[in-house]
Each structure stands twice: as structure tokens, then as C-alpha cells.
Structure 1
Amino acid sequence: MERLLNSCVSLHLLSKSLDPDKNALYWNTEATSQYLTVGATTSLRGFIRHYKMTMYPLMANLDHAVREGKDQLVRTFDVTSSGLYEKIYEGEDRVETFIGGMHGLAPLASKAVVSAFDLSSFKTVCDFGGGSGNLAYEMSRTYPSMSVKVLELPPVVEVSNHFKPDDAGKLDVEFLAGDFFVDELPEADMYVFSMVFHNWHDDNISRLLQKVHSALKPGGAILIAESLYNDEKTGPVKTAQRCMLMLALCEGKERSAREYRLLLEKNGFSDFKARYTDGLHDVILAKAGESNKGKKGC
């Protein structure tokens, strides 16, 4: 135990002093209290548990991912990419751990995403794959006249109450069960995709963008939160590291703002804007092109 505690002190996870009898006393640092304790609203324990269960085993096979150029789900978990979420959502405990992991990171990113652009003109919003709803709640909190729906798979909706903020009753947020690739999309002025597109190949993203473009009202927009490469793909480090994670995890990858612009313009979007933030996610806003006017939701 002494070795463990001293190691934690060296990592600035604990502080240490000696009492008059030379007995060691240990206590949490401010960062540990904020991010690693059970009761902290900004706790990252769920995220760390998710990485322990999923990402660490996958990254142990990174050498195979580089040699083969594909994900390592079969080698690591004996499951294909199409069955990944079935495994992740296998039982309520697993669902809670995964969504809890994403929820732990969300407060570090949501404010930057919501404030990257003035979104006050959008009154109805749908957040696709919004997990615990942290981003949706932050949007409703920032823009009180905004109504936000979170479209998530049924197992996620079932555990969503576990992550409600204290002020949820004052916020206009609703959870809907569905699959955005399969089901009809709810009507909205703006569709939001936060850390969704990096899971998919360009072909699947284009298929989804076409569906979104058809469903948007005239003047509607799409908001994308991802970790963006610079155009030369020489950084930033956070994006390069995530891109290696995606190599082992799925068919997707991290992209530059230029690559997203090309994808969006190819599928009917215009008025492209990108904002790099100091947070975990960068933000893109684009509007449905003029050809979308008069279309009905799909």
C-alpha cells in the first residue's frame, strides 16, 4: 500500500506529509477530488472504466491493426464491427458503464461546442447518438427557447434517467428511441452529431448526410463536433492519438476540416464554418443548400 500511495504522489494524484511521529499522511489532490472520486459531478471514473474494458484491450493489438489496416474487434472480443454495440449494450451494467464513460467526458466539451457559434436562431434541435444527453441539456440551458430531442438506441434511453442533471426539470430535453441509419428522422431546424462521424467510413457518412439533408427544413443546419486534424494532418496530438484509437476500434477515422467540407458539399450542404476550440472537440456548422427548399422530411 505504501508503494502504491507513493506512486500516486509522484503522479500528483495524492499529496503527502509526515506527522510529528514520522507517520505518513496522504490526501487527494484537487484534480483527484474533481475527476476521480465517486461523487464528483465531473468524475471521469466511468470513462476510465470504459477504457479499461474496451480501449486498452484493443490497443494491445495495435500492431495488428497497423499491419492489417483494419479494426481488431474480432481478434480482441470475437465480435465484428456490426455487432460492437450489441456487445457494449449487453446488459444494463455494460450500457451504464459505456454511457457513463462518455458522460464523464461530456462536461469538458459541451460548453465549448454550444458556444462555438450563435445557435439562437434554431428552435428545434435533434442530437443524434447524444448518449446521456449532456450536450442536449447544455444547449437547452444556454438557449432557453430551444427544444432538444436526443435520438438514441433503446438500451441507452432506458438508462438515461441515471444521468439527469439537477436542473433537468427546467430544461426542454426529450429522449427518443431509434436508429438514425434506419428510422425516420424527427423534424428539426438543426441536427447535431457529436463524436459520431469518426466511427464511420466516408460512404456511410455520405449516406447519413443525404438522409439528413432530405429531412432538414429550409434553412436548416447540421452541427458536427469532432476532433479535427489540421489540413496537413501534422496535428494536433489529441486528434492523431484518437485516430490511432479509431484504427483499432472501427472503420472510421479522424478528419480535417477540409475533408469534412468536401463531404458536406458533396451531399448538398453549404455555408461551411469550422471552429477549433481549446477543448476536446472542434465544431463545424453547415446549412442545407438551396436545392433542399421545399423538401419534406424523409
Structure 2
Amino acid sequence: MGDRNIDLTATEIFEIITGFIGTQILYTASEIGVFDALAGHGEKKTAEELATELSTDVDAMERLLNSCVSLHFLNKSLIADENAQYSNTEASCKYLTSGSKTSMRGLIHLNKVYSYPLMGNLDSAVREGKNQIPRTFGATSHELFANLYSDEAGVTTFVSGMHGMAPLSTKAVVNAFDLSQFNTACDFGGGSGALAYEMSRTYPGMSIKVLELPPVVKVSNDFKPDDAGQLNVEFVAGDFFVDELPETDLFIFSVIFNDWPDDKVARLLQKVHSALKPGGAILIAESLYNDDKAGPVHPALRCMLMLAFTEGKTRSGREFRFLAEKSGFSDVKVKYTDGIHDVILARKY
């Protein structure tokens, strides 16, 4: 909160104005397949070789590659009497190639196809106070997601996008509180299961269910980690808004509540409170505002994305404490982490 009165320099404002260009360079290099084309161990290629392989203009490819070098996505080596050769950085190998277990390519694609166009209508979202899915895609929210979930490829794309955030958050969420007293847990809308698998590694005695919609459960094997056989994680098909909730000691909500308005969040919290036995708890992972909502930056940016994309918003720890206590929970603890998601633990007594 101490930096809220700092004046930006003209250079810093310029960088914000033009920041979208770097974003589009990353989107383009990823979608064209630059990082995958350089994915082999020690793989180095010239701009001409990559242009031929990826069916692009040679000069334009060289410009793209040099831009990626300046943004630290690629390395560039110059050899006497030869063309420059390009290779992936260590970070690109880890996060930008499709074959990596920690790949963020799905997240890039999801943002390129959905978030970026939606944010182009942010001015309308602010004027109207409504999400911009109809204006951006010519469909209602229900129609958009129904179409996305209509085939396995669409579901895989969406789950892959959400899975791309796992390297940024799962360890911080799992380690925020001591959860060793809980024998069972249920991760609501747990997507690929990344958080559940990490929790099982940390608490091997805990039995964990991932409650997801049937189409997501169907593709869940695509995201299993190599050590899944040693982890106590099970996927269960269901809709937590509609179906009876499974019996468990701990309900987990990771990046769920920012999609919904307060009244819908309250209804779900009340449903969960009724399903828990005394001593049970909820664990909420979200990007949290400070209580004065002057920052941090990531929750503030996400709040505007939620305005354009959903019915929900980013909340502060204080707001979550109020919602949880109003639904019957007590001993509400808020932990700000070093990851992109902060954590709230609340109990039923």
C-alpha cells in the first residue's frame, strides 16, 4: 500500500501504452510455432530455416525472432561468415514449448483467443457494467461456453489454458497453511487437477477428489503428472452448483469465486457450510486486493478482466472474510503469498 502515491514517469506510462505489442509478439511466436520448432536439445536454426519450416516470410520471421531475443524468449548466436542462429532460452523450453510439463502455451492461446479481444471492449464494459461476451463474440456467455465445451478439443484447450497458471500458484497455495489435520479434501472445479496433485504430494495421507463437469473429467488423463500413480487423487463428475456435495473435511475453491457476483458466492458458501461437519473447513485461492483496494497490480488487472469476461470481480481479504462469516464460517484467516493467488482458510465449528 505504500507505493500508491508514487508518480509514474513518462517512460513508465509509455511502457504501459505500448505493452500490448510485446504481448502480441509472444502470442504470434507461440501460435506460429517458433518455440516448438526450436524445442530439440541444443536446437539452433536460422531465420531462413524457420521461415521455410513454418511457412512465413523470411524478413518478417527475422524481425519476429529478433523481437523475441530482445524480450528474452530466444537466444541469438552469431558465427563468422554464417547467418545468425536462434535457440530457445531455458525459460522458453520450460514454459513456452507444448511438450513441457510446465508449458504455458494453453494459457497463451486462451488469452489470445478470448481475453485479448474482450479487453478491446473494456470501455463498453465500464459504461454498461456488463461482461462483453455478446459484443465481442456475438453470443451469450452460456452459448460461448456451451460451444467451447461441445467437443473434446475445445475442453482440452480451455483446461490447458487454466493449467498454464499452475507453475505460478500451486506450491504457494498448498503451503500457505498447515492442512495436515484434514484427512479428505474436495477441489471444486479443479480443472487439470494440478492443485490436487500438488496437495497430495505435500499431504500423502490425504484423500483428494476433484469435482468437475463431465467433459473436463473426460480429458483429465491428458494432464496427469508422471507421478500420478503415487498420488491419492480421484476425479468425480458433477456440478457443484446443482448436485449434492461429497462428504469431506476440506472444500477447496481455486480461482472460482472471481467468476461470480456476491449473491451467487454467498449461496455456494452456505451450501458448503451446510455440507460440512463441525471441524471442517474451506480453502479459497484467489488473487486478493489489499483491504483498501489500492493494489497489488495483478488483482487490479484481473478485476478488469473479470468485468469484461464474467459476472464476478476481484475481492479483498476483508470482503471474503465478510462473505464467509455471513455464511456461518469462523476463524477466517487470510494469507498473502508470493504467487499470483492468495489463500483464505475458514472453519465450521
Question: Is the TM-score greater than 0.5?
Answer: yes
Counterpart CA distance in 1 for 2:236 and 2:82 is 59
Q: Which SS does the other structure have where 1:70 is aligned? A: coil
Match of 1:71 among 128, 131, 135: 131
Q: TM-score, normalised by structure 1?
A: 0.95
Counterpart CA distance in 1 for 2:273 and 2:182 is 16
Q: Is 1:120 aligned with 2:167?
A: no
1:104-143 correspondence to structure 2 within 5 Å: 104-143=164-203
Q: Which runs of 5+ in 2 are unaligned?
A: 1-60
Match of 1:232 among 292, 296, 299: 292
1:112-261 correspondence to structure 2 within 5 Å: 112-261=172-321
Once the two structures are TM-superposed, the CA of residue 28 in structure 1 deviates from its matched residue by 1.0
Displaced runs of 4 or more, over 4 A: none
Q: Which SS does the other structure have where 2:164 is aligned? A: helix
Q: Which SS does the other structure have where 2:252 is aligned? A: strand
Counterpart CA distance in 2 for 1:263 and 1:62 is 28
Counterpart CA distance in 2 for 1:51 and 1:265 is 34
Is the 1:107–1:134 Cα contact (8 Å) retained in structure 2? no
Once the two structures are TM-superposed, the CA of residue 91 in structure 1 deviates from its matched residue by 1.1
Q: Which SS does the other structure have where 1:188 is aligned? A: coil
Amino acid at match of 2:189: G
Counterpart CA distance in 2 for 1:43 and 1:223 is 26
Higher CA-based Rg: 2
1:293: which partner in 2?
A: none
Once the two structures are TM-superposed, the CA of residue 87 in structure 1 deviates from its matched residue by 2.7
1:151-177 Cα deviation digits (max 9, x unpaired): 001110000010011111111111111
Once the two structures are TM-superposed, the CA of residue 42 in structure 1 deviates from its matched residue by 1.1
Counterpart CA distance in 1 for 2:148 and 2:277 is 34
Once the two structures are TM-superposed, the CA of residue 84 in structure 1 deviates from its matched residue by 4.2
Q: Which runs of 5+ in 1 are unaligned?
A: 291-298
Match of 1:10 among 30, 49, 70: 70
Percentage of matched positions with identical amino acids? 70
Aligned CA RMSD, in angstroms, stands at: 1.0
Pick which of 228-237 and 84-93 moved more: 84-93
Once the two structures are TM-superposed, the CA of residue 90 in structure 1 deviates from its matched residue by 2.2
Counterpart CA distance in 1 for 2:129 and 2:71 is 35
Once the two structures are TM-superposed, the CA of residue 112 in structure 1 deviates from its matched residue by 0.5
1:194-215 Cα deviation digits (max 9, x unpaired): 0000000000001001100000
Q: Which SS does the other structure have where 1:160 is aligned? A: helix
Larger RCO (alpha carbons 8 Å, 6+ apart): 1
1:31: which partner in 2?
A: 91
1:105-142 Cα deviation digits (max 9, x unpaired): 11321111000000000001000000000111111111
Question: Aligned residues, how many?
Answer: 289
Match of 1:42 among 102, 110, 124: 102
1:62: which partner in 2?
A: 122
Q: TM-score, normalised by structure 2?
A: 0.81
